[in-house]
Structure 1
Amino acid sequence: MIIKLLLLICGLLSAASYASFVSPLQVDLAEARRGFINVANDGTEVALYELAILEWGGDGVAKQIEDPESLMVMPSIARLEPGESQRFTIVSSVQQGEQVRGFRLVIKETKLQPSEGSVNLSISYNLPVYDWPTNSSSPDSRTAESVQCSVKDGDHILTNSSSYPIRVSSAYEGIVPLTNVILPGQILRATDADLSSIDCKGLYEFIEPDPS
């Protein structure tokens, strides 16, 4: 699936200038230990694309990978003319584990020749990268039992003890840092939302490898 990401900032950037095609919007690493991302410069100016992979921390905040060579993106930089595209490869040198691991792929786009009257700012795209475990299957009823909701001291607590990442509903909007995804082993504590009356199963959905 190809989704056009159109970015406008304070009306200073033209829609045609800062527009890119990015596909897919989720990178899955499995037995092949590699995944791919396609980026196309659909704007009207030459653009520089810089790619980096970050660790998806337990607090939802992205940080540098301890061993950068264990997960790399190639090439890490590309200069694209208007209408040009580039395929980037994400390669892992680490064996599959028993639990999915999450990373963030950051794509920084900078126009090299901004048009007259525009502001030369950098735009970043932030995509999830999932390193799936060996022989991962679709979630079942037992998997759903591994996600628990509770209320303590007025706070709503969502605990993901399953082996799958989960995407929480819009009820958590503005509460989850970085993304609306909770990785295996993570706990979400919502202090600014009254979710005590909502069925736990209605608050999330499991994320599986993208079939495309």
Structure 2
Amino acid sequence: MKKLMTLDLVFYTILPFIVWNYGREPFGDYYAMLLSTVPGFIYTIYRFILERQFNIGGLFIIFSLFLSTTVKLLSGNAENLLWNGVYLGYFYAAIYLLSILLRKPLALYFAVDFAYLQGQPREQSKALFSSKGIFKWYQMLTGLIVFRGIFQSTLKALLIYSYGVDGYGHILIYMQVSGWFFGALITGASFFVYSKVKQYIKEQYVESTETEQADGAS
């Protein structure tokens, strides 16, 4: 975890900050800001391949990278690039919210992907996580992700109002810190949901055992 935090800091904050500061004069604000996103893009692709996320989660990452890169290239100037990042954040939050309303919470499908990487069949995990006693927790976990998207997009909008394009370095730092906070919060919530899954499996096992004993006695 500490290593990942260090790598996140380097590729999402330090390197972009350096590229931004030293690239503004030769390239201008827009291209310097565009170039500052390259380290994070390459690092995200590397993490994607390393973690073998060729599934719903992986497809979502690919879609997000494709969309964000397209928007960045079409932004035209530094200020539009920043604001388009805000709009994208709200858009992703809306996707997560829609998955909740459709009762297809994305957090559940990400959990199925993770369980599959641990050797669990997808259909079996999906059936388990969709059980009455567990499903609501994945709805809530997805809701937390929605809140993160809304909060961070709103924070970024306020920072743009306060600092403008010239304060891009400050925006990077604030966004990274808030990203860490929500990352820790969502990780903790995921462990909590996992504990609920384990508890549910245990209860089902006890209930099944008691039923078998009762049938044997009769």
Task: Give me the TM-score of the superposition, normalised by structure 1.
Answer: 0.23
Question: Which protein has the bigger strand share?
Answer: 1
Structure number, greater radius of gyration:
2
Q: Whose helix proportion is higher, 1 or 2? A: 2
- Tell me the TM-score normalised to structure 2 length: 0.23
